[in-house]
Amino acid sequence: MDMRKLMCPKSLVVVGATDKPGMTGNGTRSAVKGTNKDHVYYVSLKRDEVLGRKCYHSLAELPEVPECMLLLTPAKTVAGYLEEAGKMGIGAAVVIASGFSEERTEEAHRMAKEVEDVCNKYDIALCGPNCVGIVNALDGVVQGTHDLEKLVDGGIAVVAQSGYLTGGFRQPNADQLAYVVSAGNSSVCSVEDYMCWFADDDRVTVISAYLEGVKKPERLVYALETAAKKRKPVVILKAGESAKGSFAAASHTGSLAGNYATYQAIFKKFGVVACKTAQEWATTSRMFSVLRGKLPEKLGICGLNFSGGENTQFADNCERYGIDIPEFDQSTVEKLRAVLPSYSTPANPLDATTTLFSETEKVRTLFTAISEDPNIGIISLGNDMGANSEPKDITCVKLMTELRAEGKLLPTVISPTWEKPRHADFINQLENAGIPLVGIGDQGFKCIRHLLDFAAYKYDEHTLELALPAKELAEGKLSLSEAQSKAELTPYGVRVPGQALAKDAAEVDAALAKVPFPVVMKVESPDILHKTDAGAVKLNINTKEDALKAFDEIMANCKAYKADARIDGVMIQEMVPNGVEIILGINNDKMFGPMLLAGLGGVFTEVFKDASLLPCPISKKEAGEMLKDLKGYKLLTGYRGSKPCDIDALTDLMVKVSEYAVEHKNDVAEMDMNPVFVYEEGKGVCVTDALIVKRV
């Protein structure tokens, strides 16, 4: 598939050319406004001329074989035209028509399959169907129903399966757009294919995608890895946060690692900026585009405002989004004190007062002093930049643009408090200087958080790969018993307690000879996965008599709980000391492969669902970052007199589990190790229970 012919065709044929109002007429007109207009041809069965240009009556009449075809004809004609185009050697097509798989009728699905088969037969790169096409503002080429706003030399490349969202994204960002792709049903070229093109095109500075689902995970990995290594922001709005997952309930991991959480974990590994609303998606994309790769080198922020109320709001928003407001260095305080009015305190956030902004040189000192502070990496200016010019606005715009051009101003964003008409000329001057407006209040601070996270991301600290499984996986599932599960893990260096199996009461004494008191007794059964629920766990057994009694009670409880359960006996296990409880698990996504889950055990898992997820394989550093993401992380580092836990041993275990998951990506469906006891520094970890579910 030649994506170049689709994204930047040197020649184009418009089939179904018309001058009628609407989408088809728009597509006809837009096609001849591009830089390839001398090689754009119209085909119409009935017309000899449209919009003053000659019309051919068939593809066979064309003076050359075009690289791309824009089809403006009804759905029932599409497959036939694609067949003819394929035979001629036309390598790409855009299909605007709806009426395919989105309608969910038998006939619509038949036509969709026919279109896909023809494209695969002739290796045609197809955009759509049910789309509004492509605008390439870098090369000045259009094959769709949108117009080319202006030529650009770089900027945002946006792709969405929704034409409505690409249209909405265009409105506030038209001057920043390099590509606009409405992917429609994506029956041949998927969103991931376009993202790969954007990642490879160095003129694209930001990749923005609305993602409903992924068809080609290997292409997504390529796009995200390429962008990460180029430090090119990828901003994604992922649909489906509220969708219910269809995961088995055999393990805690399966219920915690839903579809949306899987995508978020992948995004985190590759440094993707994940947004939750369309407005956040569009505004964040524009911010990165305006900044042009000039990112904060430090994560501390300075809030520069004009009132005490703004300072308070700034501080509250920063705390809400975990943004660090460091104290000014003493040298900065002295410089600021020299220019600020006596009633202004040189502290961060700073109420600079409007009085100061009548004296340009003092304001220059203000900006340069903050920019030279060793603790500050970014400045947020609280200014509405209203349509009515104010003296402070004029001074800010003049000095910030000058200082940015001189390389003397830190990365700076404008954070307005109120929604109001903006001063268009001021905004243009600031954006041309690389200073974006990030939106009001909460929206703006989300953008700043995204900026700081992306600035802090270091691709070489992550394993930029996924353990993608085979395309076809077995649908059946088989749960291993605890002993079988542990036996799978011990070759990977996983420490488990000493244990012995008693198949019946007569074997209890022999088993006890192998395991010192006190012991834990648990049913050994592949059919009873949640042993506590079945009353099949007995703790603190200290004598043979208690062990025999516990054996009988476990067997009776299991019979009452699940009469037909296969029971291999009772496992008698060394009762290891308690430590901080951790749950580790694997959920093996059919598309993206194994995902490692780590969480605080007990009530943290059951009630608070305090867990972190990341795709395998993972590095030791990534394992440590997963733990830091937990709300209960302080329990591992020492809290209220408790000693720090052996985090080094725990992260080693997480890497070992990841290695096991990668090697078994095609045959393990899910896994739980719960609880894992983590002991004091230097004393290691111990996996006391394990469950592995295999695909069969």
Residue 247, pLDDT score: 38
Residue 162, pLDDT score: 85
Same fold, 3-239 and 294-456: yes
Report the pLDDT averaged over residues 436-463: 95
By C-alpha distance, which of 511, 536, 517, 518 is closest to 526? 536
* pLDDT tens-digit series, residues 641-679: 789 999 999 999 999 999 999 999 999 999 999 999 999
* pLDDT tens-digit series, residues 250-303: 343 344 445 888 999 999 999 999 999 999 999 999 999 999 999 999 999 999
In angstroms, rounded to a whole number, what is the distance separating the alpha carbons of residues 54 and 42? 7
Four-point Cα dihedral 502, 504, 507, 511, nearest 10: 20
Question: Does residue 78 surpass a pLDDT of 60?
Answer: yes
Residue 242, pLDDT score: 60
Q: What are phi and psi of 210, to 5 degrees?
A: -100, 120
Mean pLDDT value across the chain: 93
Residue 244, pLDDT score: 44
Residue 253, pLDDT score: 39
Write the CA distances from 446 to 286, 287, 443, integer angstroms: 13, 11, 5
> What is the value of pTM for the model shown?
0.92
pLDDT band at 101 (very low <50, low <70, confident <90, very high): confident
Give the fold, CATH level 3, of 498-574: Dna Ligase; domain 1 (3.30.1490)
Q: What angle do CA 168, 173, 177 make, to 5 degrees?
A: 110
> Which of the two residues, 258 and 362, has the higher pLDDT score?
362
Residue 471, pLDDT score: 86
* pLDDT tens-digit series, residues 5-31: 999 999 999 999 999 988 899 999 999
- The residue with tokens 């007062």 is 353
Residue 258, pLDDT score: 52
In angstroms, rounded to a whole number, what is the distance separating the alpha carbons of residues 23 and 196? 28
Report the pLDDT averaged over residues 142-159: 92
Domain boundaries, the chain: 3-239, 294-456, 498-574
Report the pLDDT averaged over residues 448-475: 95
Residues 6+ apart with CB under 8 A from 538: 520, 521, 522, 550, 553, 554
Domain 3-239: CATH class, spelled out: alpha beta
Tokens of 689: 């229970």
Report the pLDDT averaged over residues 94-108: 90
pLDDT band at 603 (very low <50, low <70, confident <90, very high): low
- The residue with tokens 């440590």 is 624
Report the pLDDT averaged over residues 136-144: 96
Residue 163, pLDDT score: 84
* AA letter at 320: R
Window from 277-291, 330-344, 400-414, 591-605 with minimum mean pLDDT: 591-605
Residue 104, pLDDT score: 82
In the three-class reduction of DSSP (H, G, I as helix; E, B as strand; rest coil), residue 43 is classed as: strand
Q: What b/e sequence results for 474-513 when a residue is b if at least 16 CB atoms lie within 10 Å of its CB, and e otherwise?
A: eeeeebbbbbbbbebbeeeebbbbebbbbeeeebbeebbe
Taking phi over 0 as left and psi of -120 to 50 as alpha, with beta for the rest, 627 belongs to alpha
Q: How far apart are the first and last CA of the chain?
A: 35
Residue 14, pLDDT score: 98
By C-alpha distance, which of 253, 266, 256, 263 is closest to 670? 253
Neighbours of 591 (CB within 10 A): 17
Report the pLDDT averaged over residues 339-358: 92
Q: Could you say which of 1.10.760.10, 1.10.569.10, 3.40.50.261, 3.40.50.720 is the CATH number of the domain covering 294-456?
A: 3.40.50.261
% of the chain exceeding 70 in pLDDT: 97
